Amino acid sequence: MQRNTLGKTGLEVTPLCFGTSTLAGFTETYGYDVDDERAVETVLAVFDSEVNYLDTGNNYGEDGLAERRIGEAVRRRGGLPEGFVLQTKVDADPKTGDYSGARVRRSLEESLERLNLDRVPILALHDPEFMSQDGFAPGGALEALVAIRDEGLVDHLAVAAGDVAVTQRYLDTGEFALVLNHNRYTLLNREAEGLFERARAAGLGVLNAAPYGGGMLAKGPAQQPKYCYGERDGAFAAAAAAMGEACERAGVPLIAAALQFSTRSPLVDSTVVGVSKPERVRQTLDLLAVEIPESLWEELESLAPDARI
């Protein structure tokens, strides 16, 4: 599989990155659970695949369940595969909501212990739009992240969020090398397009997560009527249904078009897709091999809702 350079970081990663929130027991969000062994086997399947990039986070599951499961896979594998990039995110304290600079350091310490690693190359500030404290204040999250990087505990900083305006505010500090946005650059929603264009112009690495919009573009709106776990349902569901019909006429799975919309974009270095069982790893890779005619891309573009809604 080809490798893309993540902006100024110099890191070479595959255009596909597997996400792990799906391994965290979020039954209310995803509608299913994943037991320990299946989760570990899924991570091991990623390690054995062509993909060299894995994304996780401190708050994925109770007591960092996803990270603990990844850590078990790392233990069984005897370490990460050569050239593999694993990134995690700092999060607020799940009980108190504390998102201070001190909490940021504790979050990283917790993650490294769970992951069975001494360091990670990329550390992301997660969901700053939901912070109860000012991340820019003295002693706040931003100051702590910069110190963590400057001390050599991680190599690069990222912002991982949904809110475009909040994300841009952090990127404007010049301290972040990467941006990760979710659900807002898909067949149905181009809200993050400007964010990605500015990041690309600044030489930042760009990660696009959740190209299926929380499942609507994977299962179809009949099975998953909510976009992005409940946001913006009506027009998006109608457009997804029309896109599904267009894909069916062309003999192309809607899910393949949704994934390739992101991976073919010159704005995106790597696309983050969750997997919840070992066989999903191969199935996701197979979606990248589906041939999609240019005429279908044109039709899908014409069916999109207001491009920046």
Question: How confident is the model over 183-217, as pLDDT tens digits?
Answer: 999 999 999 999 999 999 999 999 999 999 989 99
H or E element, residue 194: helix 193-201
State the greatest distance between any 2 C-alpha atoms of the chain, in Å, as a whole number.
Answer: 57
pTM: 0.95
| 58-117 pLDDT per residue, tens | 999 999 999 999 999 999 999 999 999 999 999 999 999 999 999 999 999 999 999 999
Q: Which two tokens stand for residue 254?
A: 């809607």
Q: Are strands 4-5 and 12-13 parallel, antiparallel or unpaired?
A: antiparallel
For residue 25, the 8-state DSSP code is -
Q: Which two tokens stand for residue 100?
A: 């201070």
Instruction: Place 309 in a pLDDT band, splitting at 50, 70 and 90.
Output: very low
Instruction: Place 29 in a pLDDT band, splitting at 50, 70 and 90.
Output: low
Q: Which CATH number fits domain 4-213+254-294: 1.10.1200.10, 3.40.630.30, 3.30.830.10, 3.20.20.100?
A: 3.20.20.100
Bridge partners of residue 272, in order along the sequence: 17, 209
Residues of the chain with pLDDT > 70: what percent? Answer: 95
The residues, any chain, with a CB within 8 Å of residue 264's CB and separated by 6 or more, are: none
Segment 30-45 shows an average pLDDT of: 90
Top pLDDT among 61 and 229 is at 61
Instruction: Place 233 in a pLDDT band, splitting at 50, 70 and 90.
Output: low
What are the structural domain ranges in the chain? Answer: 4-213+254-294
Bridge partners of residue 36, in order along the sequence: none
Determine how many CB atoms are found less than 10 A away from the CB of residue 201: 8
H or E element, residue 178: strand 178-182
| Nearest partner of 305 among 184, 141, 203, judged by Cα | 184
